[in-house]
Structure 1
Amino acid sequence: MARKIGVYAVIAYVLYGLFIYWYLFYFADTSLPFEYEGSQADPAVFLNARELSLSEEYSKVRNLLFFLSTPLEWLFYLLILLVGLSKAFKRWAEQSTRFKFFQTAIYFIWLSFFAFVATFPLSYISYSLAKTYNISTQTFSSWMKDELIDFWINYGIMVIVVSVLYWLMNKSRKRWWLYAWMLTIPFTLIMVFLQPIVIDPLYNDFYPLKDKELEQKILALADKADIPADHVFEVDMAEKTNALNAYVSGIGGNSRIVLWDTTLNRLNDNQILFIMAHEMAHYVKKHIYVGIAGYLLLSLAGLYATARIMNWAISRWGNEFKVDHVKDLRSLPLFLMILSMLMFAASPLTNFVSRYQESQADLYAIEMTKDPQAAITSFQELTRAGLSQVNPPLLVKIFRYGHPTMLERISALEEYEIKMRNENID
C-alpha cells in the first residue's frame, strides 16, 4: 500500500507539472487589453523589443519554478514517511543520546539535510536563471553562503519550535494546537522585532545613507507622515542583484527605513521619494500590525486544521507512514506537509489582502508627493530591472502576487494624473 501511495503521488506531481507548463506556456494570455495599448502601462512604450521578449521568457520559467517547488516539498515529506526515513531518523537520534531535546535536534538535522538536498536542484536552477537573465549578479560562492545561512537560521529556530511543539503534543493530546498557537503570539512579535537588527545584517551590510541631501528629503517626508526616524539606511545589494527595492521594517524603536543601493543607482530623487512615501504608508496605516494580526488568525485556523487532518491521516494511513500517533516525532514530516498545503491554499486570500494594502500605499504615496510622472516612471524602471510581466496570468496573480500588477498600478497612476490635470484646469 505504501508503494502504491508513493507511485500515485509521483504520477500526480508529474501530471500537475505538465498542466502548469501547458497553462503558462500555451494557454495563459498575457497580452495587454486593447484599451491600454499605447498607454504608459503598455510595456511596448517603455521597454525595447529585446526587453519585452526577455521579460516574457524569464517570467514564464520563474513562475513554473514557483508552482513546481511547493508541491515538490509535499512530495518529499510524503516519501520520507512512506520509505521509512522518518522512522530511521528517530532511531538514529535515540541511539545517539537519551536527552529529548538533543534527540529532536539530531532528528531534525537529518530531515533538514535531506530536504536541502531534495530541493537544491530547483533552487540552483532559479539562481542560474536569474544569472542568465542578468537579474542576479551574485557569485555562486556568495549564493551558497546565503543558502547556508538560511539553512542554519531555519534549523536553529525550528529545533526550538519543534521541541516545544512535540512537548505540547505529549502534554495535551487534544489541545496542543491551541497552546502552540498561544506561544506563536510572543514568538511572532519577537521575530518581527529582531529581523532588522539581528537577522537581516547576517546577509548584507547596512550603513547610513551616503547621500545626505537625499536623506534629509526622505526624513522630511517621514516627518510629514509623523514617522519617528533619525536615519535612513542603505544596503549593499549591487553585488547580488540588479533588482530594485526599498522598505520600512521592524516595530517600535528598532524600525528602519532602508534603500537598496541598486535603487539609488537607477532612480532619481523624485522617484525614490515616491517609493519611500509608499513604504512609509505601510507604517502610517499600521499594515505591519494588520499583517501580524492576520497571520495569527490564520495560524490559529491552520494549527486547528492541521491537528484534525493529522489525526485523520494517521488513523487511516498510520501503518504506511510508520507512525503510531500524532505525538510521535516521526509524524513531523506529516505536520510540515499539511501545514505547507494549508499555507499554499490560503495564499490567494493573503495575497488579496496584501494587494489591497499595496494599492492603499500607492494612493497614499501619490497624494503625498503629487508627482504622478515620478511614480509612473519608477514603476516602469522596476519592471525593466526585474523583467516583470505587466499583465501576468490569472493563476500567477492569485498565488504569487502580493502587489497589484504593474498594469493596475501604472493605469491607476495615469487616472490620478488625469484627475490632477482636470482639477488644475478647473
Structure 2
Amino acid sequence: MKKWTFRALFAYILFGVMIYIYLFYLAGSGVPDVFRGTSADPTTFMSGKELLLSEEYSKIRNLLFFLSTPYEWLLYFFLLLFGVSRLLERWGGSISHFSIVQTAIYVFSFSFIVFVIQFPFRYLSYYFSSKYGISTQVFSSWMKDGMIDFWVNFVTMLIIVAVLYALMRRFQKRWWLFAWLLSVPFMIFMMFIKPVLIDPLYNDFYPLKDKELEQKILALADEANIPAEHVYEVDMSTKTNAMNAYVTGVGSNSRIVLWDTTLEQLNDEEILFIMAHEMGHYVEKHIYVGIGGYLLLTFIGLWLTAKIMNRTVRIHGDRLKITGVSSISSLPLILLITSILLFAASPLSNWASRYQEMRADRYAIELTVDKKAGVSSFQALTKAGLSQVHPPFLVKIFRYGHPTMLERIQMIEAYPVDHD
C-alpha cells in the first residue's frame, strides 16, 4: 500500500510540474506572424490590460483543468486502496437488508466524500473566475448552485448505479452490453427533461423580452425551415459576464435560449449570426450525429471497462479491497477506468465537435450573409471570456470543443459570399 501510494503521488506531482512548465514557460499562445494585424489578432480589438489578463487567466484555468483530471483519478484510486469504498459498502449493509437502501446509503456517502475532496478545485475555479471579472456570482449563490449540483448528481448516480449493479449481478459476462442498450433511452430521457426540470433549478427562464428581436430570430428560423415558436432568455448576468446562446432539448421540449449577457453586449446583427450558428447544428442534424457518436463511444467504452475491470479485480482485487466486480465497492474502479478512457478519447471527440462547430459557422455565414457581424461577435466573445485566440496545442486538443477564435475568424474572413 505504501509503495502504491508513493508511486501515485509521485506521478501526480511530476505530471503537475511538467504541465506547469509547459503552460507557463514552453507553450506559446501568440498569433503567428502571418495573422498579425488581421481581425484575428487580439491586439486589434483588445487593450493591453485585457491581453495581459487573458494570458494570465487562461494559463491558470488550463492548469486547473490538467491538474483536476488526474486528481480525480487519484481520489478514486485511494478510496479503493485505503478500503474506504469497502467500508461504505459494509456500512450500508449494516443499516438495511434492502438492496436499494444499501445502494442509496453507499451512493450518498460516496458522493459526499467526492464532493468534499474535489471542493478545493471547484473553489479555485470560482475564485479566479471572480478575480478576473468573469464571474459576478456571490459566494452564497455559487454554493447554492453547488448544492443543487450535488443533489442532481446524487439522484442521477443513484439511478445509474442501482441499474448497473443489478445488471452486473444478473448478467455477469454481458452486463456491459445491456447497460449500453439501456443508456440510449436514458440519454434521450435526460435530454428531454433537462430544459424543463433541471435547468430551471439554476436559473430563471422566460420568453425573450425584445419582441422585435424575437421576430427577427424566428424569421431566420423560418428561412432555415426550423419549427420554432418562442425564444427564451435566461438571467445569467448575476452569475457571469461571459456570453452564450444555445439550442437545448429534444422534441416538444426543445428551446432556443439566449443569455441576457449576450443580449446586453451584442447588437442585433451579431445575435442573429450567433443564432444562425445554432440553427446550423439543427439543419445539419448534428444532434443525431452526436447521438451516433455517443452510441459508438459508449459501446467501446463499456466493453473496455468490463474487460479492464475483470482483469484488475482478478489480479489486484485483494489490494484494492474489492471482493468482486458486482460488489458496489468496485464503483470507484468503474469511475476511474471510464474517466481515463474519456480523457484518452477527448482529442478525438473534441476534433469531431470542432468540425461540427466550423460547419455551423459556415452555415451562419450563408444564412445571414453578414461576415462583419460574425467577426465582431467572435471578437466580443473573446473579450468577454478573456479567451486565448491561439491556445497551446495540448490545450486545444484536450479542452477545445470549438475551433480556436483564430481559426473561426480567419475562416469567416476567407469564406466567399455573394454579398459582403
Normalising by structure 2, what TM-score? 0.99
Q: Is the 8 A contact 2:369 2:419 kept in 1?
A: no
Secondary structure of 1:320's match? coil
Secondary structure of 2:414's match? helix
Structure 1 residue aligned with 2:401:
402
Rounded to whole Å, the distance in 1 between the matches of 2:17 and 2:313 is: 30
Rounded to whole Å, the distance in 1 between the matches of 2:181 and 2:411 is: 41
Q: Is the 8 A contact 1:3 1:82 kept in 2?
A: no
Rounded to whole Å, the distance in 2 between the matches of 1:247 and 1:87 is: 42
Structure 2 residue aligned with 1:324:
323
Structure 1 stretches of 5 or more lacking a match?
none
Rounded to whole Å, the distance in 1 between the matches of 2:163 and 2:211 is: 47
Deviations 1:269-306 (A, max 9, x none): 00000000000111111111111111111111000000
Give, in angstroms, the shift of residue 198 of structure 1. 1.1
Say yes or no: does 1:104 pair with 2:103.
yes
Secondary structure of 1:207's match? strand
Question: 1:89 is matched by which residue type in structure 2?
Answer: L
Rounded to whole Å, the distance in 1 between the matches of 2:351 and 2:120 is: 30
Rounded to whole Å, the distance in 1 between the matches of 2:16 and 2:339 is: 18
Rounded to whole Å, the distance in 2 between the matches of 1:166 and 1:202 is: 29
Secondary structure of 1:319's match? coil
Structure 2 residue aligned with 1:186:
185
Counterpart mapping for 1:242-257 below 5 A: 242-257=241-256
Question: 1:43 is matched by which residue type in structure 2?
Answer: P
Normalising by structure 1, what TM-score? 0.97
Structure 1 residue aligned with 2:20:
21
Counterpart mapping for 1:35-46 below 5 A: 35-46=34-45
Give, in angstroms, the shift of residue 163 of structure 1. 0.8
Structure 1 residue aligned with 2:297:
298
Rounded to whole Å, the distance in 2 between the matches of 1:424 and 1:366 is: 10
Structure 2 residue aligned with 1:265:
264
Give, in angstroms, the shift of residue 317 of structure 1. 1.1
Rounded to whole Å, the distance in 1 between the matches of 2:411 and 2:393 is: 19
Say yes or no: does 1:32 pair with 2:39.
no
Secondary structure of 2:319's match? helix
Rounded to whole Å, the distance in 2 between the matches of 1:312 and 1:18 is: 32
Rounded to whole Å, the distance in 2 between the matches of 1:424 and 1:179 is: 53
Deviations 1:34-86 (A, max 9, x none): 11000000000000000000000000000000111111111000000011101
Question: 1:307 is matched by which residue type in structure 2?
Answer: A
Counterpart mapping for 1:207-246 below 5 A: 207-246=206-245
Secondary structure of 2:141's match? helix
Rounded to whole Å, the distance in 2 between the matches of 1:20 and 1:163 is: 38
Secondary structure of 1:32's match? coil
Structure 1 residue aligned with 2:80:
81
Question: 1:58 is matched by which residue type in structure 2?
Answer: Y
Question: 2:325 is matched by which residue type in structure 1?
Answer: V
Question: 1:264 is matched by which residue type in structure 2?
Answer: L
Structure 2 residue aligned with 1:139:
138
Secondary structure of 1:262's match? helix
Question: 1:254 is matched by which residue type in structure 2?
Answer: N
Structure 2 stretches of 5 or more lacking a match?
none
Counterpart mapping for 1:310-321 below 5 A: 310-321=309-320
Secondary structure of 1:247's match? strand
Rounded to whole Å, the distance in 1 between the matches of 2:75 and 2:67 is: 12
Rounded to whole Å, the distance in 2 between the matches of 1:249 and 1:169 is: 33
Structure 1 residue aligned with 2:276:
277
Give, in angstroms, the shift of residue 120 of structure 1. 0.2
Rounded to whole Å, the distance in 2 between the matches of 1:266 and 1:356 is: 27
Question: 2:80 is matched by which residue type in structure 1?
Answer: L
Question: 2:62 is matched by which residue type in structure 1?
Answer: N
Rounded to whole Å, the distance in 2 between the matches of 1:8 and 1:315 is: 22
Counterpart mapping for 1:117-156 below 5 A: 117-156=116-155
Deviations 1:250-276 (A, max 9, x none): 111111111000000000000000000
Structure 1 residue aligned with 2:343:
344
Give, in angstroms, the shift of residue 3 of structure 1. 2.2
* CA RMSD across the alignment: 1.0
Structure 2 residue aligned with 1:307:
306
Q: Is the 8 A contact 1:323 1:330 kept in 2?
A: yes
- Percent identical: 60
Secondary structure of 1:321's match? coil
Rounded to whole Å, the distance in 1 between the matches of 2:197 and 2:283 is: 24
Rounded to whole Å, the distance in 1 between the matches of 2:106 and 2:28 is: 46
Structure 2 residue aligned with 1:413:
412
Give, in angstroms, the shift of residue 357 of structure 1. 0.2
Question: 1:77 is matched by which residue type in structure 2?
Answer: Y
Structure 2 residue aligned with 1:57:
56
Structure 2 residue aligned with 1:362:
361
Rounded to whole Å, the distance in 2 between the matches of 1:188 and 1:290 is: 14
Secondary structure of 2:236's match? coil
Structure 1 residue aligned with 2:11:
12
Question: 2:121 is matched by which residue type in structure 1?
Answer: L
Q: Is the 8 A contact 1:287 1:357 kept in 2?
A: yes
Rounded to whole Å, the distance in 2 between the matches of 1:190 and 1:330 is: 28
Q: Which moved more, 1:46-55 or 1:291-300?
A: 291-300
Question: 1:409 is matched by which residue type in structure 2?
Answer: R
Q: Is the 8 A contact 1:359 1:409 kept in 2?
A: yes
Rounded to whole Å, the distance in 1 between the matches of 2:205 and 2:170 is: 44
Q: Is the 8 A contact 2:232 2:255 kept in 1?
A: yes
Structure 2 residue aligned with 1:66:
65
Q: Is the 8 A contact 2:16 2:67 kept in 1?
A: yes
Rounded to whole Å, the distance in 2 between the matches of 1:12 and 1:414 is: 45
Question: 2:368 is matched by which residue type in structure 1?
Answer: T
Give, in angstroms, the shift of residue 424 of structure 1. 6.5
